[in-house]
Amino acid sequence: KPRIQDQVKEHFKFKLEHVDKHSKARAGVITTPHGDIPTPVFMPVGTHGAIKALQPQVLEDMDTKIILSNTYHLHLTPGSDLVKKAGGLHKFMNWPRPILTDSGGFQVFSLQKKSIKEEGAEFKDQKGQKILLSPETSITIQQNLGSDIMMAFDECIPYPATREYTKNSMDRTHRWLDRCIETWNNPKQALFGIIQGSTYNDLRKECVDELVKRDLPGYAIGGVSVGEGAEWMEKIVSFTAPLMPVDKPRYAMGIGNPEDLIMLWENGIDMSDCIIPTKFARGGTLFTSRGKIRIRHRNYRRDFYPIDHSCSCYTCKNFSRAYIKHLFDSNEILGQVLATTHNIAYYKSLAEGARKAILEDRFLDFKKEFFANYKKDDS
């Protein structure tokens, strides 16, 4: 019987279409059982099996290609057995397109109270009941959910971390990866490995080498955006990304601001996710080609222009800044709906603009134009 790593190749593919002539930026297509994903791609986050404030139909109308969801949260509520009974997460949430699930490796480790052992990570749920998340349980849960891309169960360590802690944690994460691969038995679901190693280049390199030996369908940079700051983040990404296989998708986890995305793409990253566009939207912070605006600011009281004149989303085509400010001031949930719609559209069009530029060998011009327009704070 062929290895699962070879079986999955029938259902999950990555085609590298083009590398920009003047940078490392790449354009490609990921093929999954629920559809194709042109890259670079940004993945909106639907932690509990819902993109907060948005109907799946709205996401489909915007042509969102893939969303992310979370093992940890869906395990606690409603439980992955129930989701499996409902026919899997795609059916349960009525989202017919690709889904990536994170392993819980990040969510558990951001808890205050947990204990990490060789077996896995132990913590208490809302009712105080002990729960063990391990490589085996994480993969079993992700297989019950039926995501197109599953993430390996890892330890995401905070910044700063000592070299000794980082090395020991990373070695354990590799042993966990082998247990993930042992548990993985559905060739219609791809398993991605996660590169750790904190700020230590030699450990990052060692980690990539270990992961590549396992011949996985894709690889992710983890352990970034954990408090290290933009400079370290760029150092880690620019060192690690070129070490990753050219013929597999490269994913940077939990990043980031529009500026960060430009940096990721310039370094040859294909996929990323972040709660920023959705979370900021619900708080009234909206992205525009000229920078962020805080829509509740009094300046927008009589501003009858759209959020972003260069945006063609439903919100920008139909509503003014003054109206959206009014919705936020009145605590109308439609404000959050319209804001989320816009921010998701903004991130999508940024990624699409980058992809087009890469295919035409003008990514650096794209970057230049972005920074010429985008002010750090425009409100």
* Catalytic sites, residue numbers: 102, 273
Q: Which stretch binds ligand GUN (CB under 6 A): 83-91, 102-110, 161-169, 233-241?
A: 102-110
Burial class (CB within 10 angstroms; exposed 0-12, middle 13-18, buried 19+) of 331: exposed
Judge whether 319 and 338 are in contact, CB under 8 Å: yes
129 to 82, 122, 126, 135: CA distances (angstroms) = 19, 10, 7, 20
Compare residues 135 and 254 and give the one whose CB is closer to ligand GUN: 254
User: Pairing mode, if any, of strands 121-124 and 115-116?
Assistant: antiparallel
Residues 154-173 that bind ligand GUN (CB under 6 A): 154, 156
63 CB-contact burial (10 Å; exposed 0-12 / middle 13-18 / buried 19+): exposed
Q: Which is nearer to ligand GUN, 52 or 326 (CB)?
A: 52
103 makes contact with ligand GUN (CB under 6 A): yes
Asked if residue 335 lies in contact with residue 328, where contact means CB atoms within 8 angstroms, the answer is yes
DSSP 209-234: HHHHHT--SEEEE-S-SSSSHHHHHH
Q: Is 44 in the site for ligand GUN (CB under 6 A)?
A: no
The residue (of 142 and 336) whose beta carbon lies closer to ligand GUN is 142
x/- site string to ligand GUN, residues 117 to 156, per CB under 6 A? ----------------------------------x--x-x
Q: Which of 135, 218, 222, 284 binds ligand GUN (CB under 6 A)?
A: 222
Q: Which of 28, 146, 254, 277 binds ligand GUN (CB under 6 A)?
A: 254
**Among residues 105, 187, 218, 256, the one that binds ligand GUN under rule CB under 6 A:** 105
Instruction: Kindly tell me which of 155 and 308 has the beta carbon lying closer to ligand GUN.
Output: 155
Q: How far is the CB of 70 from ligand GUN (least distance, A)?
A: 9
Hey, how many other C-beta atoms are within 10 angstroms of the C-beta on 186? 17
Q: How far is the CB of 304 from ligand GUN (least distance, A)?
A: 40
Handedness of CA 22, 24, 25, 31 (dihedral sign): positive
Q: Does 46 bind ligand GUN (CB under 6 A)?
A: no
Strand partners, 115: 122
Q: How far is CA 223 from the centre of its chain?
A: 13
CA dist list (Å): 363 to 134, 241, 377: 41, 17, 24
Do 203 and 170 form a contact (C-beta atoms < 8 A)?
yes
The reply to whether 193 sits near ligand GUN by the rule CB under 6 A is no
Binding residue (CB under 6 A) for ligand GUN from 4, 68, 181, 194? 194
Candidates 103-111, 167-175, 235-243, 299-307; binding stretch for ligand GUN (CB under 6 A): 103-111
106 binds ligand GUN (CB under 6 A): yes
Query: Which residues of this protein are in contact with ligand GUN, per CB under 6 A?
Result: 102-103, 105-106, 151, 154, 156, 194, 222-223, 253-254
